[in-house]
């Protein structure tokens, strides 16, 4: 599975503002993902229901960890340079949406 296929699975389940890949492991000697961590920033929604949908309905052939933030929550977290959101923003790879927000 590559990054585009991973993103397509997410986009089939929701309409995010941004999707940031912040943790990934590759198959040795390949560009294929072995596992991934995704941060999804979206407008207000039921996070529990969306997580359930992502884990159950997204056809992911690899282990994927999802972290969800509402847009306003994300902006607030970015104000704290020591927050996990700030670390994701600095080190992650934006797969969908604007490069920087907040």
pLDDT in tens, 26-64: 888 887 888 999 999 999 899 999 999 999 887 788 899
Position 102 pLDDT exceeds 50? no
CA 61/CA 81 separation, integer angstroms: 34
Conformational region of residue 100, where left means phi above 0, alpha means psi within -120 to 50, and beta covers everything else = beta
pLDDT band at 3 (very low <50, low <70, confident <90, very high): confident
Angle between helices 84-91 and 71-78 (to 10 degrees): 90
Q: Which residues pair with 93 in a beta bridge?
A: 21
Q: What is the largest CA-CA distance in the chain?
A: 40
CA 53/CA 79 separation, integer angstroms: 30
Extract the tokens encoding 19.
């999707």
- pTM, full prediction: 0.88
């Amino acid at each position: 599975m590559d990054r585009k296929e991973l993103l397509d699975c997410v986009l089939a389940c929701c309409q995010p503002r941004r999707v940031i890949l912040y943790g990934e492991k590759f198959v040795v000697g390949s560009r294929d993902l072995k596992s991934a961590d995704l941060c999804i920033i979206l407008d207000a929604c039921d996070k529990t229901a969306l997580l359930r949908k992502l884990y159950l309905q997204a056809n992911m052939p690899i282990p994927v960890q999802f972290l969800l933030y509402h847009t306003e929550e994300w902006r607030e977290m970015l104000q704290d340079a020591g927050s996990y959101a700030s670390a994701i923003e600095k080190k992650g790879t934006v797969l969908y949406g604007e490069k920087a927000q907040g």
